Amino acid sequence: MIALPWRKWLRLTIIYALCGVVLFWALAPIYWVIVSSVSTRAELYSAPYKVWFPSAPTLQNYVDLFTTGPRYRDGGFLPTADLMGAGMRNSLIYSLATAAAVTIMSTLSGYVFARMRFRLKGMIFFLFLLMMPLPIWVSLIALYFIMSQVGLVDNLLGLILITTTLLLPLNIWLMTTYIRDLPQDLEDAAFVDGCGRWQLMASVIIPLARPGMTAVFLVALLSAWNSFLVPLIFSTTARSQPVTVVLSFFIGQYEVAWEAMSAAAVMTMLPPMLLALFFQRYLVRGLTVGAVAGT
């Protein structure tokens, strides 16, 4: 066994200690939510607090969440099963539609900016990039006025349009840099064989850009699923409220249903966590290649 000098041991100890602190900081809230979801309300409200390890774990909170549990907001009570079911359905439709729209539009726009030549291309692309650091709250009043005028408040289509617009600049930049790095010779050969633009997209560009498109789809899907501010403002009923907004309904006028909220939070976290777990290879590969292409 090779003995390491004390300075290297000290450096490794500091690095591992800092990694442990960061890991605890990231995982402790998740652990608390999971533990709270299987704890009783009596334990959660006990003083002093001692629920890091529940004495009698129970799944009743999950049963209540999807059967007869109450809705907490301003003293109103509705079946949580209907509330959670509507929220999960709205989140699924909202996230998938937004991710599909962002992927298609960013791929087509990325090809235009990467391969085609036209006047003011650089300026238009620069204007798209200027939208990336723009915070959403700057345009909330104008957006709400426009959406209310066209009848898209409390409508899933309105949420999809707003979120797609917010996510497009970053993903257009990503797909532009990705397609720009693809070999030009394949496209030239396809043109020589008589391919048109749409045939070229279907037979050459899309197969080669699939890793980047997969990354864009996953990032857009996770961003839409985790979105809270836009749905909170532009959705007012269970008709369009996603599950992230539904989570806030467990905060009542006189109490907070921590156990029910925690169970709902766990159900909300599961889809994006599983998605990132099973598709991390495509996500990292697509983002990495796109980043390298843009340097």
pLDDT by residue, tens only, the chain of 295 residues: 455 576 788 888 899 999 999 999 988 888 888 888 888 877 777 766 666 777 778 888 888 887 776 555 544 545 566 778 888 899 999 999 999 999 999 999 888 888 888 888 788 888 878 877 777 778 888 888 999 999 889 899 999 999 999 899 888 888 888 888 888 787 778 777 777 778 888 888 888 888 888 888 988 999 999 999 899 999 888 888 899 998 888 876 677 778 888 888 998 998 888 888 888 777 676 566 555 544 4
**19-36 core/surface letters (b: 16 or more CB in 10 A; e: else):** eeeeeeeeeeeeeebebb
Separation between Cα atoms, residue 28 and residue 235, nearest integer Å: 31
Residues 6 or more apart from 225 whose CB is under 8 A from it? 91, 94, 95, 242, 244, 271, 272
Whole-structure pTM value: 0.82
pLDDT in tens, 171-230: 888 888 888 888 878 777 877 777 777 888 888 888 888 888 888 898 899 999 999 989
Separation between Cα atoms, residue 221 and residue 100, nearest integer Å: 8
pLDDT in tens, 128-148: 788 777 777 788 888 889 999
* Side-chain half-sphere exposure of 281, counting CA atoms within 13 A: 1
Separation between Cα atoms, residue 295 and residue 290, nearest integer Å: 9
Do residues 232 and 242 lie in contact, with contact meaning Cβ atoms separated by under 8 Å?
no
The full set of domains in the chain, from first to last, is 69-294 (1.10.3720.10)
Among candidate residues 228, 209, 211, the one with its CA nearest the CA of residue 95? 228
